[in-house]
Amino acid sequence: MKALVLREIGGRLALETVPDPAPTPSEVVLKVHANAPDQLDVTISTGRIPGAKLPLIPGHEIAGEIVALGAGVTGWKVGDRVTVYTYLTCGACRYCIAGRETLCRNLKGYVGVQSDGGCAEYTAVPARNLVRIPDNVGWVDASTIPNAIATPLRAIKGRAGVKAGDDVVIVGACGGIGIHGVQIAKQCGARVIAVDIDDARLAEAKTLGADLVVNGAKEDFSQAVRDFTGGKGAEAVMEFVAMEATMGRSYASLATGGILVFVGAQPGNAFAPDPVSLVMQEFTVTGSRHVNRAELAEAADWLGQGRVKPIVSGTWTLAEGQKALDAVAQNRVLGRAPILPWSRTRRAHRGAAPSTLSAMRGGEGGERSEPG
């Protein structure tokens, strides 16, 4: 089969012919129809992810069709359309049992990092990691499920507990995850304040439901939040950026009793809330680490039900894999731009200026040391 292979840290992805994968008893083989590269793939190629296998076929945001089943696989059949849960968990520790699978104490790594992933015509993945794609969702759109939709859905609905009537700030609203987060917060019944630094993309966030857009490069967004909420502040602030320029303002945007959720995080960017304010106003500051499998299935449902519009700015052929990665690294992708291993033509790409907050932090989706 044809696959994109990374042979050395800092190297480029090369299109190679490699042996077709065969399933172990607990795996299935997928025909990969779409795989969306994200910042994690860029980070792997630059070597900032410890323990990546080499040579590696990257790719962890996969939409594909089962073409072969391992001897021990039950519950799935050839032809089933699926996406793939990225974390290679043990399934037995107390965190796995509790559904907090990203906190697995025996984590074996990630699809597309410690095992070969979706930048190929076929890939073998654990059957336990499969989640069904709704029948009415096409392959290209399905590539937004595993991260671009699932990650903000869990963070906003699950971790922040956003409900109707809340004011919610999305910091980094125009990155691949934030642009879906705007829609999800709106669907939860919130008033949504979208913060980024690119006016053209902020205009798109407005069409997707943002009630207020704020260019954080031109004004202090915490003040804009105060003004918009009559001095109250926001019940939830979602930090998809986590830069020094944003974290203090995110905290300052909170309403009394509000919650600040970090989804993006960057090593070295420290943030220390004042304990007096934590006590006196009972703020919550927490993080959200990707999703569990149930939340991945919920994200697929949301897309199938039309509750969130998948934002896809173009597609790539397999031969263009390195270009696809470069586009992510340079923040030229709005939403997702998947590689289609079986396509011979690319779909035109909507231009996106590499000038957002997301670009300042090194690419949309956040600087990631892990999936999600």
Sign of the four-CA dihedral 200, 203, 207, 210: positive
Cβ proximity to Zn ion: between 54 and 98 the closer is 98
103 binds Zn ion (CB under 5 A): no
Sole window of 83-91, 234-242, 301-309, 363-371 interacting with Zn ion (rule: CB under 5 A) = 83-91
Sole window of 3-11, 82-90, 221-229, 362-370 interacting with Zn ion (rule: CB under 5 A) = 82-90
104 binds Zn ion (CB under 5 A): yes
Say which residue the tokens 């410890």 belong to. 50
Question: Is the bond leading into 273 cis (omega within 30 degrees of zero)?
Answer: no
93 binds Zn ion (CB under 5 A): yes
Residues 332-371 that bind Zn ion (CB under 5 A): none
**67/346 Cα distance (integer angstroms):** 25
Closest CA to 242 of 285, 277, 187, 274: 285
Residues contacting 137, CB < 8 A, separation 6+:
145, 300, 303, 304
* Interface with Zn ion: number of residues (CB under 5 A): 5
Cβ proximity to Zn ion: between 5 and 111 the closer is 111
Residues 174-213 that bind Zn ion (CB under 5 A): none
CB of 118 to Zn ion, least distance (A): 23
96 binds Zn ion (CB under 5 A): yes
Residue from 1, 15, 68, 90 touching Zn ion (CB under 5 A): that is 90
88 binds Zn ion (CB under 5 A): no
**256/262 Cα distance (integer angstroms):** 18
Say if strands 2-5 and 14-17 run parallel, antiparallel, or are unpaired.
Answer: antiparallel
Residues contacting 132, CB < 8 A, separation 6+:
80, 81, 82, 297, 300
Sole window of 66-74, 91-99, 263-271, 315-323 interacting with Zn ion (rule: CB under 5 A) = 91-99
Q: Which residues would be at the binding site for Zn ion (CB under 5 A)? A: 89-90, 93, 96, 104
